[in-house]
A = this chain, B = another copy of it.
Amino acid sequence: MPNPSNINIAILGASGYTGAELLRLLAYHPHANIVALSGESQAGKAIGEVYPHLSHLNHRLVKLEDVHYDAVDVVFCCLPHGTTQPVLAGLPRDLRIVDLSADFRLHDPEDYAQWYGHAHQAPDLQHEAVYGLTEWQRDKIEAARLIANPGCYPTCSLLALLPLVKAKCIEAEAITIDAMSGVTGAGRAAKQPMLFSEVNDGVKAYGVGGHRHVAEMEQEVATLSGEPVSINFTPHLVPMSRGMSATIHAQLADGMRTEDCRAALNKRYQYEPFVTVCEEGVTPSTHEVRGTNHCRIAVFEGRRAGSVILLSAIDNLVKGASGQAVQNMNRMFGFEETLGLSHSAVFP
């Protein structure tokens, strides 16, 4: 484990929202030293031209090929899904990597090929990658070279589900998740369906039955429960910039009650700085975590006998992406896990 001295950081694909969010968080991290930002179409520009809210930072974007890795300790990779594999395979072996794309989240090459439509291009790295749900993989993260930072929906859902799966409070094979995401989840590339006028004042489900994030969820639940599972997952686009909420339905295991679920959650997360289990009767709102790395979870008795309802709220850009990436970096380099991540939510 390295000393908790300053580390040098390169961010690849820094012109997207997750890149900008990394910059926002790392700007006041006491040990972070940004040394390179890449962004193909914006190369040559100061970051303040691309993101005026970051104009107090003195960084300039370069092309990916112009990033020098000599003095770099850790790379955050925010490249588009599918383009990351050859890039990461070509990085010096002494670099540590937090990859925010989906490229290394699935461990099984066949799973990957099935969900993404082509064979994985860096199967060795795929094998090596650690799924970086921090609260559940701390030991592996400390030792890892390559972290596959979890997707936003899986982070939001798994943090609520895993304690109940582990404590065998629920039947792992009967999980239904309806989730809502802010629009930043779709990235900054110009797409007609994400125009303000298309999204404002309305809601819509999408990817019904086939969103790729379900593969991550099934992988992690199955790993913990020991058997393959199929999850019904329906994401919805709602008119907010950031925020994510999951409403999760499960069947209680034999002899289990809602209180057992709450107890399992409380026990698992009582010392966690970034996970809060709400008191009975309290429902979490995405407002309460906006801009922060926190996850708020609640558990409710279902009306149908034997059913339990979990609610989970995160900021999709923070705990669902860049914040958890910084949390993982902190763990990898022996820093306190909360460094650079201690904020109150910006509400209203």
Contact = CB atoms under 8 A, between A and B. Distances in A.
Interface of A: 17, 20, 23-24, 27-28, 51-57, 173-174, 176, 178, 180, 182-184, 188-192, 194-206, 208-210, 214, 230-234, 236, 238-243, 245, 247, 249, 276, 282-291, 296, 298, 300-305, 307, 309, 311, 313, 317, 342-348
A305 B304 CA distance: 20
Given A24-B346, A176-B176, A303 B190 contact: no
Nearest to A207: B283
A176 B209 CA distance: 16
Contact of A178 (B24, B247, B343): B247
A245 B204 contact: yes
A344 B52 CA distance: 10
Contacts of A236: 180, 245, 247
A166 B287 CA distance: 41
Would you list the 7 A-B pairs with minimal beta carbon distance, nearest first? A202-B287, A53-B345, A204-B285, A197-B348, A178-B178, A190-B190, A24-B344
Contacts of A298: 208
21 contacts: A28-B343, A52-B285, A54-B344, A183-B197, A190-B191, A190-B192, A194-B197, A196-B200, A198-B348, A200-B239, A201-B240, A201-B241, A202-B286, A203-B243, A209-B303, A234-B247, A236-B245, A238-B239, A239-B239, A249-B249, A317-B348
B196 A194 contact: yes
A236 B153 CA distance: 17
Contacts of A346: 24, 290-291, 346
B307 A232 contact: yes
A286 B204 contact: yes
A283 B344 CA distance: 29
Given A180-B238, A239-B239, A240-B239, A208 B309 contact: yes
